[in-house]
């Protein structure tokens, strides 16, 4: 920023972003924090409010403005040009923006620049000797069921995958077989595999929770791995990242998570399933483990979750599964109770 336009708020925004780098946050996290806080600061200036003095009303107005930002980039009624949103932000994205602002104000409170944080935190009620009511945050939490393909949709995806290079087919197999996150999949090394026992180590530094785990993979995935390794040796004979780019521009370079996202998007388009994403294979694997009777704690360990609550969000039993279970357990009882209701005459 130029010396002429730098404000007191700009100085503290820059200091907070620098702090995130110094704390060792991932580059993508730092970039997301920087986008979020500078976007909010620009909104405040457009409203004639110093970001350091913003109150709850300003936060609420910002969230409302995110819903109405036009394609040109600025907010409704605001001259300041800001990055255009590709589409209306989802609930999770809005909550992420709100979390960034809350963390920024936590920093200001810690530095003694503010007495309070204007971003209201949601709290659950508790019993700690006295009854306390739960408090709602500024945004509700929407728990959306993950999309998983039906059998017909899965067959269409597999048919489209048959024309993919062996590398992509192996990645698809590992993503499902081991319930891997996108980052975990792309960060796999050749040394992470134990072919004799068909085990793969997910290193702690590559995981979301920073906790490593060892998971098995199937014989079919092992066959794909054996078929891919000679292809990889044509690109590089050095040990290291397993999945390498074969494109002339990035030849023998490790593929990025963005590349894998593009591969899955293209595959979903060819299969006629635009909802297919990198996380779909993980959702499907964990759901299948639940379908065959795995205990919730076993699924959490396999998935690398710290909390059972996280595991519950990933387990999606389809209406067909629920119908089958209902028919096997409760249908007769329900029919008996409903029979008397059906006999009622006007």
Q: In terms of pLDDT, which residue wins out, 161 or 319?
A: 161
State what percent of residues in the chain have pLDDT above 70: 75
Answer yes or no: is pLDDT of 283 > 70: yes
User: Which residue is listed with tokens 């990933």?
Assistant: 314
Q: Do residues 284 and 148 make contact, with C-beta atoms less than 8 angstroms apart?
A: yes
- 240-279 per-position pLDDT tens digit: 999 999 988 889 999 999 999 999 999 999 999 999 999 9
- 8-59 per-position pLDDT tens digit: 888 999 999 999 999 888 788 899 999 999 999 999 988 899 999 999 889 9
- 164-175 per-position pLDDT tens digit: 999 999 999 999
pLDDT classification of 1: cutoffs 50, 70, 90: very low
- Would you put residue 198 in left (φ > 0), alpha (ψ -120 to 50) or beta? left
Q: Give residues with Cβ within 8 angstroms of 36, minimum separation 6.
A: 96, 97, 100, 101
- Would you put residue 251 in left (φ > 0), alpha (ψ -120 to 50) or beta? beta
pLDDT reported for residue 75: 47
Angle at 99 between CA 95 and CA 102, to 5 degrees: 135
Separation CA 15–CA 108 (nearest Å): 10
The two tokens of residue 143 are: 């728990």
The two tokens of residue 262 are: 């593009």
- 123-152 per-position pLDDT tens digit: 544 444 444 444 555 665 556 667 888 889
- 195-217 per-position pLDDT tens digit: 999 999 999 999 888 889 999 99
pLDDT reported for residue 330: 61
pLDDT reported for residue 339: 62
Cross-strand pairs, 135: 123
Helices (H), ranges, 23-181:
27-46, 56-68, 91-110, 151-161, 166-177
Separation CA 90–CA 132 (nearest Å): 31
pLDDT reported for residue 122: 56
Q: In terms of pLDDT, which residue wins out, 273 or 121?
A: 273
Neighbour-count burial of 279, counting CB atoms closer than 10 A to its CB (0-12 exposed, 13-18 middle, 19+ buried): middle
Angle at 52 between CA 35 and CA 8, to 5 degrees: 85
pLDDT classification of 322: cutoffs 50, 70, 90: low
List domains and CATH numbers for the chain.
8-121 (1.10.150.130), 151-317 (1.10.443.10)
The two tokens of residue 241 are: 């990242």
Q: What is the pTM of this model?
A: 0.66
Q: Give residues with Cβ within 8 angstroms of 7, minimum separation 6.
A: 50
**Span 282-311, average pLDDT:** 87
pLDDT classification of 295: cutoffs 50, 70, 90: confident
The two tokens of residue 264 are: 């899955």
């Amino acid at each position: 920023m130029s010396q002429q336009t730098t404000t007191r708020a700009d100085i503290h925004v820059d200091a907070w972003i620098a702090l995130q780098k110094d704390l060792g946050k991932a580059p993508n996290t730092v970039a997301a924090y920087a986008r979020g806080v500078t976007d909010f600061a620009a909104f405040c200036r457009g409203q004639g409010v110093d970001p350091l003095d913003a109150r709850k009303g300003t936060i609420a107005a910002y969230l409302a403005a995110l819903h109405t930002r036009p394609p040109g980039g600025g907010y409704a009624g605001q001259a300041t040009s800001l990055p255009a949103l590709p589409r209306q932000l989802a609930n999770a994205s809005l909550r992420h923006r709100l979390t960034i602002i809350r963390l920024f104000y936590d920093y200001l409170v810690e530095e003694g620049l503010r007495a309070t944080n204007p971003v209201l935190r949601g709290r659950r009620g508790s019993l700690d000797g006295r009854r306390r009511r739960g408090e709602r945050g500024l945004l509700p939490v929407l728990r959306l069921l993950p999309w998983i393909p039906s059998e017909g949709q899965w067959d269409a995806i597999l048919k489209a995958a048959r024309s993919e290079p062996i590398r992509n087919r192996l990645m698809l197999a590992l993503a499902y077989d081991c319930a891997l996150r996108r980052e975990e999949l792309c960060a796999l090394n050749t040394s992470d595999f134990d072919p004799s026992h068909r085990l793969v180590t997910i290193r702690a530094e590559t995981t979301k929770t920073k906790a490593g785990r060892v998971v098995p993979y199937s014989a079919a995935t092992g066959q794909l791995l054996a078929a891919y390794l000679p292809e990889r040796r044509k690109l590089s004979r050095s040990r290291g990242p397993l999945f390498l780019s074969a494109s002339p521009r990035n030849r023998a370079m490790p593929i990025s998570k963005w590349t894998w996202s593009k591969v899955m998007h293209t595959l979903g388009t060819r299969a006629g399933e635009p909802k297919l994403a990198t996380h779909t294979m993980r959702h499907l694997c964990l759901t299948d483990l639940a379908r065959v009777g795995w205990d919730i704690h076993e699924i959490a360990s396999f998935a690398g979750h710290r909390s059972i609550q996280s595991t519950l969000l990933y387990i999606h039993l389809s209406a067909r599964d629920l119908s089958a279970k209902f028919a096997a357990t409760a249908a007769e009882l329900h029919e008996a109770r409903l029979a008397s209701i059906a006999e009622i005459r006007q």
